[in-house]
Amino acid sequence: MLNIENLHATVADKPILKGLSLAINAGEIHAIMGPNGAGKSTLSYVLGGRPGYEVTDGSATFDGQDLLDMDPHERAAAGLFLGFQYPVEIPGVSNVQFLRESLNAQRKARGEEPLSGGDFLKLAREKAGLLGLDMDMLKRPVNVGFSGGEKKRNEMVQMGILDPKLAILDETDSGLDIDALRVVGDGINTIMRRPDKAVLLITHYQRLLDYVQPDFVHVLAAGRIVKSGGPELALELEREGYAEIAA
């Protein structure tokens, strides 16, 4: 589904990714772990098409299409979802309006009929319920006044509504308390653990992986994947630290 080969990327002319290769197939959940500054968030932003993240070499294809050639909204319509480490507050823009317009823009791009207001609200209510987010929060301006945990839950509600093929979740576990971590973990499993979907989890810690069992774990260090393995690698990292493994 996602095929990254020899990806090099710079931010403000500083090389961050230095030859990263990774293949993710449908039905798989991959976790990328690594120390601060390894390039984890850069990878998510490069795949999400954030301006300022310059690809200097290599390729990334998504379902056979050149991902790097697409605009951010086209990537979304193709089925890519990026869960932000720091979800953005947008005063004055209601969550519900934003999500409905986003979903319908995606559907339009795919040649599908727009969802009616009633059907959308039904869908939103279902996904909010799944993540334990009050429906009133969805009517409020996007992320404004939300706690860290509420922002992350809102990201997952958005993921549920937009129903992507591939979700790249950048430190979705940070800022979550233990109960919220379980709710979010269950949400990821319910929404994304399907034979036709895939997830790339970016995290510092093992704890999210207790709830969302990865099929593959990769260690990212200095802009490259230096080690790959099964779920046991995450436990090993937790025990030994990155310094040992990434060295």
Partner 1 sequence: MTTNALPTRRDEAWRYSDIDAVTAAWPLPAPESIVVPAGGDFKRAIVQDEGAIHQIEMSIGKRAAASLHILNIGGAYGRIELNVILHEGADFHLGAAQIGGGEQNLEIVTTVTHAEPGATSRQMVRSVLGGTATGTYLGKVAVARDAQQTDSEQDVKAMLLDRSATANAKPELEIFADDVKCAHGCAIGELDAMALYYLQSRGLPPGEAKRLMLQAFVAGVFDGAADEEKLQALALAKLGELV
Nearer to partner 1, 93 or 235 (CB): 93
Nearest Cα neighbor of 219 from 200, 180, 245, 189 is: 245
Nearest CB to partner 1, comparing residues 64 and 92: 92
One residue of 10, 42, 85, 106 binding partner 1 per CB under 8 A: 106
Q: How far is the CB of 103 from partner 1 (least distance, A)?
A: 7
Is 109 a binder of partner 1 (CB under 8 A)? yes
Distance of CA 100 to the CA centre of its chain: 20
Per-position x/- string for 131-150, each x denoting binding to partner 1 as judged by CB under 8 A, each - no binding:
----------xx--------
Q: Are strands 166-170 and 198-203 parallel, antiparallel or unpaired?
A: parallel
Taking the least distance from each CB to partner 1, the nearer of 181 and 191 is 191
**Residues between 32 and 51 with contacts to partner 1, criterion CB under 8 A:** 48-51
Least CB distance from residue 162 to partner 1, whole Å?
A: 7
Q: Which is nearer to partner 1, 161 or 188 (CB)?
A: 161
**Shortest Å distance, C-beta 42 to partner 1:** 14
How far is 38 from 70, CA to CA, in rounded Å? 25
Contacts of 20 (CB under 8 A, 6+ apart): 4, 6, 7, 8, 39, 43, 58, 220, 223, 224, 225
Q: What is the largest CA-CA distance in the chain?
A: 55
Would you count residue 235 as binding partner 1 (CB under 8 A)? Answer: no
* 82 is a site residue for partner 1 (CB under 8 A): yes
Please report, to the nearest 10 degrees, the dihedral formed by the alpha carbons of residues 226, 228, 234, 239 taken in order.
-50
User: Shortest approach of partner 1 to residue 93 CB, angstroms?
Assistant: 5
Judged by beta carbon, residue 44 or residue 203, the one nearer partner 1 is 44
**H or E, element range at 58:** strand 53-62
